[in-house]
C-alpha cells in the first residue's frame, strides 16, 4: 500500500508535532510513530525548557552558558538562533494550552539547573515534557490536515536507490521522497511518499545498557539517514545524565537536574561531599563534569552508587516542586526523598551528535530535514547544557517548517515510481533469541567500553566485536521478514558502530568524550566536528 502526503514526519515528540502543526497550514501531513502518538523522549523530560524569560536574565548570558557547556564545539550562529528565538516559541506553546508553573504573583516560576548562571528553566512542575506533549497531541489530533499512523516503524528512507526505474546514484545529489514503514499490527510494509520529509525520531539511549530513555530510543533516524547517504557528525558525544535512580529498572528513573538546582547535594555513601574536588560550581556543575566525577568516585571506592541528599531542605518545598519524583520514589521504590538520601548513578541520556543540518534543519539530502535529538545543529557542541533540548526541538522545527513550506511552494517535487516492498525469498524466523541476545550484547559492549571513560584499547575491542555483530545482524536481516525488533536491532548496531568510529577519531578529552590515552583538550588538532559520511 502507498500513502501520499505533502509533508511526512517521522516521530511524534516535540520536534515532530510542532513542525507538523506549522506545515499543515499549507498541505497534508502524515506522521509515522513507533508506538502511541504521545510516546517519545519529550514525554519523559522532567526538568523544563531553558529560555530568557526574566529581566534579570539576558540573551548574552544564555549564549555564554551554552558555549561554556559545549567546550568549544558549539556553532555560535546556531546558539544565537536558539537563544534569541526561544522565548517566542515558548509563548506559542502557552497559546496552544501548555500550562507552565507560575508563582503566587502569576509569573513564570523559573528554576535553575547545572551549568546555568541564573534561574531560567520554564517548567510544569517536574513533568514538563508530558505537559507539552499533551497540548501538542491535542492540537495534532484535531487538525484536519494531519493524519497520524501509530504503531508504524520506519525501515528506510526512499531515495534514488528505491526508484522503479534505474537512477544514476550520485552521493552528492541524493533526494528523499518518503520512507518504507512497517505496520506492526498488520505485519505489512507500506510506502509513504512526500515532497518533504522531517526526521524527528529522537535519540539512541538503548545503545547502552543503562539509559533514562524509553524503549523506542534506538537511533532509527540516524541509522536510516546514514544508510541513505546523509552526513552524520559528533556521534562520540553521548551525554550520561549523572543522577538516575540506582537499580530502578529499564528505562532508569530520572532524578531531574532541577533537584540539584533546588539545592540537592551529591555525597558519597559515607556522607562526604565530593563535587568541590572537580569543579567550583560543585553539584551545579554541567552534566559532563558531574557524571565524570560520580564515575570516578564509584571506581575509586568500589561502590555502586552515590547519594543525592535533600534532607537539609524543607519537606513541603520538595514535595511542591517535585511531586512526580516524590510520589514515584515513595510509592514505587519505597523511598521518602524528604527523609532519605537518593541513591543515584549515571545513565545514558542524550545524544549531542546526529544527522548534520544547517540552521534551517536541512540535511545533506534534498527534501530531508531533521530536528530534535536526531539532528546535529551545532547547538550542543561537546556537551548539552541542561534543558536546551526541548528548546532546540521547538526552535529548529519552526525554522525547518518555514523552509519546508518555501521548498514545497517553490520546488514542485516529481516523485518517481517507487518499488514495492519485496520480501520474497525471506523467512519468518523463529530465532528471536538471536535478536534479544544481540541487543543485550551491543548494550553491554557499549556500556563497558564506550561509556563515560574510554581508552584506545577499549575502543578497539568494541570495534572488533561490533563489526562482527553488525555483519551477523545484516545477514539475518536480508534473509528474514522484517519485525519491529529486527529493525531496531539493525539500527542499534549501526549507531553503536558510528559512536565507536567517531570516538576513535577524536584523540583528545573534551566534554562528554573522555579518554585515558589523551587526557588533555587539544584545540590545535580537534577544535572541529567529527564528520562521518
Relative orientation angle of helices 389-410 and 14-23, to the nearest 10 degrees: 30
List 287, 362, 405, 458, catalytic entry: 287
Cα gap 382→353, rounded to integer Å: 9
What are the Cα distances from residue 95, in Å, to 128, 139, 475? 16, 11, 50
Cα gap 20→150, rounded to integer Å: 15
The reply to whether 461 belongs to the active site is: no
- Using left for φ > 0, alpha for ψ between -120 and 50, and beta otherwise, residue 136 falls in alpha
Cell numbers placing 313: 531542605
Q: Which residue, chain included where needed, has cell 559545549?
A: 70
Buried b (16+ CB within 10 A) or exposed e, 370-404: bbbbbbbbbbbbbbbbbbbbbbbbbbbbbbbbebb
Cα gap 386→373, rounded to integer Å: 13
Cell numbers placing 106: 502569576
Neighbouring C-beta atoms of residue 412, cutoff 10 Å: 8
Q: Rounded to 10 degrees, what is the CA torsion of 462, 465, 469, 472?
A: 150
Cα gap 235→230, rounded to integer Å: 14
Q: Are strands 368-370 and 188-199 parallel, antiparallel or unpaired?
A: parallel
Q: Are strands 265-267 and 306-309 parallel, antiparallel or unpaired?
A: antiparallel
Cα gap 363→194, rounded to integer Å: 16
Cα gap 459→520, rounded to integer Å: 18
Tell me which DSSP letter residue 447 carries: H
Find, among 201, 200, 251, 254, the residue nearest to 46 by Cα.
254
Find, among 123, 107, 112, 128, the residue nearest to 54 by Cα.
107
Burial class, 95, CB count within 10 angstroms (exposed 0-12 / middle 13-18 / buried 19+): exposed
Q: Catalytic residue positions?
A: 287
Amino acid at each position: 500500500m502507498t500513502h501520499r502526503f505533502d509533508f511526512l514526519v517521522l516521530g511524534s515528540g516535540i520536534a515532530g508535532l510542532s513542525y507538523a502543526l506549522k506545515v499543515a497550514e499549507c498541505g497534508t501531513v502524515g506522521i509515522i510513530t513507533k508506538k502511541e502518538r504521545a510516546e517519545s523522549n519529550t514525554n519523559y523530560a522532567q526538568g523544563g525548557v531553558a529560555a530568557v524569560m526574566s529581566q534579570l536574565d539576558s540573551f548574552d548570558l544564555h549564549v555564554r552558558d551554552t558555549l561554556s557547556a559545549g567546550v568549544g564545539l558549539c556553532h555560535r550562529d546556531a546558539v544565537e538562533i536558539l537563544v534569541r528565538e526561544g522565548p517566542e516559541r515558548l509563548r506559542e506553546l502557552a497559546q496552544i494550552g501548555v500550562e507552565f508553573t507560575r508563582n503566587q504573583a502569576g509569573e513564570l516560576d523559573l528554576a535553575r539547573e547545572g551549568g546555568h548562571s541564573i534561574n531560567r528553566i520554564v517548567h510544569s512542575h517536574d513533568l514538563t515534557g508530558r505537559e507539552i506533549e499533551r497540548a501538542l497531541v491535542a492540537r495534532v489530533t484535531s487538525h484536519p490536515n494531519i493524519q497520524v499512523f501509530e504503531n508504524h516503524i520506519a525501515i528506510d528512507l526512499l531515495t534514488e536507490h528505491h526508484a522503479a526505474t534505474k537512477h544514476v546514484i550520485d552521493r552528492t545529489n541524493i533526494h528523499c521522497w518518503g520512507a518504507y514503514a512497517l505496520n506492526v499490527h498488520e505485519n505489512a510494509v507500506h510506502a509513504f511518499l512526500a515532497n518533504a520529509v522531517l526526521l524527528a525520531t529522537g535519540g539512541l539511549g538503548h545503545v547502552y545498557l543503562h539509559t533514562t530513555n524509553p524503549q523506542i530510543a534506538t537511533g532509527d533516524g540516524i541509522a536510516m539517514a546514514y544508510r541513505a547517504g546523509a552526513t552524520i557528525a559528533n556521534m562520540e558525544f553521548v551525554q550520561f545524565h549523572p543522577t538516575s535512580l540506582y537499580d530502578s529498572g529499564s528505562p532508569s528513573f530520572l532524578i531531574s537536574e532541577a533537584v540539584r538546582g533546588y539545592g540537592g547535594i551529591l555525597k558519597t555513601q559515607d556522607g562526604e561531599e565530593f563535587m568541590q574536588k572537580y569543579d567550583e560550581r560543585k553539584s551545579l556543575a554541567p552534566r559532563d563534569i558531574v557524571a565524570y566525577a560520580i564515575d570516578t568516585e564509584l571506581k575509586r571506592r568500589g561502590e555502586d552508587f552515590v547519594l543525592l541528599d535533600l534532607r537539609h531542605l524543607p519537606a513541603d518545598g520538595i514535595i511542591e516542586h517535585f511531586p512526580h519524583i516524590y510520589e514515584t520514589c515513595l510509592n514505587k521504590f519505597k523511598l521518602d526523598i524528604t527523609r532519605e538520601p537518593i541513591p543515584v548513578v549515571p545513565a545514558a541520556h542524550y545524544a549531542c551528535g546526529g544527522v548534520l543540518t544547517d540552521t534551517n534543519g536541512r540535511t545533506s539530502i534534498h527534501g530531508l530535514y531533521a530536528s530534535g535529538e536526531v539532528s546535529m545543529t551545532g547547538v550542543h557542541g561537546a556537551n548539552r547544557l541542561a534543558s536546551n533540548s526541548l528548546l532546540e526541538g521547538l526552535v529548529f522545527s519552526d525554522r525547518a517548517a518555514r523552509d519546508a513550506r518555501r521548498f514545497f511552494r517553490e520546488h514542485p517535487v516529481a516523485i518517481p515510481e517507487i518499488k514495492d516492498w519485496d520480501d520474497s525469498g525471506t523467512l519468518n524466523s523463529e530465532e528471536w533469541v538471536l535478536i534479544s541476545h544481540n541487543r543485550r550484547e551491543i548494550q553491554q559492549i557499549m556500556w563497558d567500553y564506550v561509556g563515560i571513560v574510554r581508552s584506545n584499547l577499549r575502543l578497539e575491542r568494541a570495534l572488533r566485536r561490533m563489526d562482527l555483530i553488525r555483519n551477523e545482524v545484516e545477514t539475518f536481516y536480508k534473509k528474514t521478514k522484517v519485525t519491529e525488533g529486527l529493525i531496531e536491532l539493525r539500527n542499534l548496531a549501526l549507531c553503536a558502530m558510528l559512536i565507536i568510529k567517531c570516538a576513535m577519531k577524536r584523540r583528545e578529552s573534551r566534554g562528554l568524550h573522555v579518554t585515558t590515552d589523551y587526557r588533555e583538550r587539544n584545540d590545535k588538532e580537534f577544535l572541529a566536528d567529527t564528520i562521518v559520511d
